[in-house]
């Protein structure tokens, strides 16, 4: 009878471990992926935070849901005139009244504050207004050939920046 009890306990532990880990791992994240024509991928992990709760300040690096977006790339990328090597980075949008800016930063330490000295690339984003506001922060890629266009939607603002694979 004790062997049956032990096996049940092991089975319950195995089944509950993923659920318990998910409960303690912080805010839920989403991932958006750009599949390049040659099979390499570029993807961003982010928190789809409710836009009504976000405190967005013009001119300040912004982390949706209090967590920086994470950029992973299997290809060397160009953002504006800057080259981004293969690897993992944090990605910060910087809101502005006109066009936003996107920053790729090499500091991926969890909980670290944004440090401009760690920037790898920075480019102005094209920003427009959309008719239908988003209730949560939305991040997506549009893909054409070796180009991945990053799209960030916050409320009625939509900002776009091109990453080109080398």
pLDDT tens, residue by residue, 66-88: 999 999 999 999 999 999 999 99
Please give the pLDDT value at position 93. 97
Please give the pLDDT value at position 53. 84
Instruction: Collect the ranges in the chain with pLDDT lower than 70.
Output: 1-26
Please give the pLDDT value at position 25. 56
Q: Distance between CA 166 and CA 161 in Å, rounded?
A: 16
Please give the pLDDT value at position 23. 42
Given a contact cutoff of 8 angstroms between Cβ atoms, the answer to whether 61 and 43 are in contact is no
Please give the pLDDT value at position 20. 40
Please give the pLDDT value at position 160. 96
Given a contact cutoff of 8 angstroms between Cβ atoms, the answer to whether 47 and 135 are in contact is no
Q: Which residues contact 124 (CB under 8 A, 6 or more apart)?
A: 80, 99, 100, 101, 161
Please give the pLDDT value at position 2. 56
């Amino acid at each position: 009878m004790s062997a049956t009890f032990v096996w049940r306990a092991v089975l319950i532990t195995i089944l509950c471990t993923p659920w318990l880990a998910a409960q303690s791992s912080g805010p839920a994240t989403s991932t958006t992926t750009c599949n390049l024509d040659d099979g390499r991928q570029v993807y961003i992990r982010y928190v789809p935070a409710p836009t009504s709760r976000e405190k967005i300040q013009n001119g300040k690096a912004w982390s949706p849901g209090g967590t920086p977006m994470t950029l992973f790339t299997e290809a060397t990328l160009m953002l504006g005139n800057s080259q981004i090597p293969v690897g993992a980075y944090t990605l910060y949008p910087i809101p502005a009244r006109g066009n936003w800016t996107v920053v790729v930063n090499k500091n991926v330490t969890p909980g670290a504050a944004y440090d401009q000295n760690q920037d790898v690339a920075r480019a102005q984003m094209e920003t427009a207004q959309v008719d239908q506001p988003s209730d949560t922060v939305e991040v997506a890629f549009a893909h054409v050939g070796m180009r991945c266009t990053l799209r960030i939607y916050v409320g009625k603002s939509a900002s776009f920046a091109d990453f080109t694979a080398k």
